[in-house]
Structure 1
Amino acid sequence: MPHPNDIVTFHDPPIPEGHSAYIPGAGPSLNFDVVDWSDAWPGQFHVLAKEIKDALGWRALVIEHVGSTSVPGLPAKPIIDIDLIVADPNDEESYVPALERAGFELRVREPWWFGHRVLRHLEPACHLHVFGYDSPEVIKHRIFRDWLRANPDDRVLYADTKREAAALSRAAGEHSMQYNARKELVIKEIYRKAFIATGLLKA
């Protein structure tokens, strides 16, 4: 279990010199269209989760629907975000080939950030985030999801922020990482309220 201080800290380690987070040929997306929430998304998650479980069996320790598509009523990019916990995300041979056979493609490798990997699936569209069992990020993601599900005012705030960020980034010709940066202050404020409510932070 991660230490509470790690859960409430926003870790942003620098990329080691000479390295890239992206697999050769991959890079940040220029497509960040935000659309109204779809009741098809939970079903798409279940389809993807079964594909992952069938591919990995017991090696898939946790398969969790996270991100905006996991929050009913919240507009989102139509890409299902999934957190997958494995025993050791740096041991790619133990899970990447099996996922590739199931239609996933490795796009991001960040061993310096809790072993994070991202694999892409095209239909249904999915970003599969792989972490180890001791990563604080998966706990953060669940807290953020559950807070937005239960707090409509912050859900509306985040929805408005996403739409505004997408419009500004499209107008500026930016990519998805810059779109994410435009949301960062609001995301951190929502997290702060959720961390206080859960007792991870003092008011």
Structure 2
Amino acid sequence: MSTTGEPRRPDVTTVELVGGVEALGVELHEHDERWAGTYLEHRRRIQHALAAVDVDVEHIGSTSVPGLAAKPIIDVVVVVDDITAEEDYLDALLAAGYELRVREPRHRLVRTPARDVHVHVYGRGDPAIDEYLLLRDHLRSDAEDRALYESTKRALLSERWDDTNAYADAKTEVIDAIKARARAARGR
């Protein structure tokens, strides 16, 4: 970021989906304790690649919630100072073996060639980060909402999805309701 705290340049204004739309061909797996280890391996890989950059790295998504069935895709959020300064992080992540999948306003997504680890990059202070952590932390502590979320995912995955983004969008109503309960429980 500049000395004024502003991004170095305007962010992208469109969604670039590298490789186009992809059908969702993954099923839910019971929680696997190895997912935490896979996250830690990628956390080290990311921190090594971005050693010259001030970053925060967190395990998010269903694989970060013990007891929750999930698609076996590890989701990681990486927080950088300036999402528009791709030269600070993107080349290093690509050199570390990740591939660019999505470039959109306020968000970049890189993933492993095997598509089993998704790394979501956001600028520091982006509200999406708090939303991910709110959902993760609530699902870790609330068995009822964890069961609701899992049953919703199971029902949705019984359908055919030609676009992984459409599957994600279909969960939004339930996720929003869970996050509203999480905020209420935290007194927000």
TM-score band, normalised by shorter chain: 0.7 to 0.9
Q: State yes or no: 1:22 paired with 2:17.
A: yes
User: Displacement, 1:124?
Assistant: 7.8
**Aligned residue in 1 for 2:6:** none
Report the 3-state secondary structure (helix = DSSP H, G, I; strand = E; otherwise coil) of the residue aligned with 1:117.
Answer: strand
Provide, for residues 37-68 of structure 1, a one-character-per-residue CA deviation record: whole Å limited to 9, x for no partner. 11110000000000000000141420000000
4+ long deviations beyond 4 Å: none
Contact 2:49 2:93 survives alignment (8 Å): yes
User: Displacement, 1:123?
Assistant: 5.2
TM-score (norm 1): 0.81
TM-score (norm 2): 0.88
**Aligned residue in 2 for 1:37:** 31
Amino acid paired to 2:47 = K
Aligned mate of 2:166, from 156, 173, 178: 178
1:103-142 to 2 correspondence within 5 Å? Answer: 103-111=97-105, 115-122=106-113, 125-142=116-133
Report the 3-state secondary structure (helix = DSSP H, G, I; strand = E; otherwise coil) of the residue aligned with 1:103.
Answer: coil
User: Displacement, 1:138?
Assistant: 0.6
Report the 3-state secondary structure (helix = DSSP H, G, I; strand = E; otherwise coil) of the residue aligned with 2:111.
Answer: strand
Q: Distance in 2 between matches of 1:162 and 1:128?
A: 21
Q: 1:96 to 1:29 in 2, by over 3 A?
A: farther
**Aligned residue in 1 for 2:65:** 71
Q: Distance in 2 between matches of 1:198 and 1:40?
A: 30
Report the 3-state secondary structure (helix = DSSP H, G, I; strand = E; otherwise coil) of the residue aligned with 1:131.
Answer: strand
Q: 1:31 to 1:98 in 2, by over 3 A?
A: same
Q: State yes or no: 1:88 paired with 2:76.
A: no
Matched-pair identity in %: 38
Report the 3-state secondary structure (helix = DSSP H, G, I; strand = E; otherwise coil) of the residue aligned with 1:59.
Answer: coil
User: Displacement, 1:180?
Assistant: 1.6
Q: Distance in 1 between matches of 2:46 and 2:23?
A: 24
Q: Distance in 1 between matches of 2:31 and 2:132?
A: 18
User: Displacement, 1:22?
Assistant: 1.0
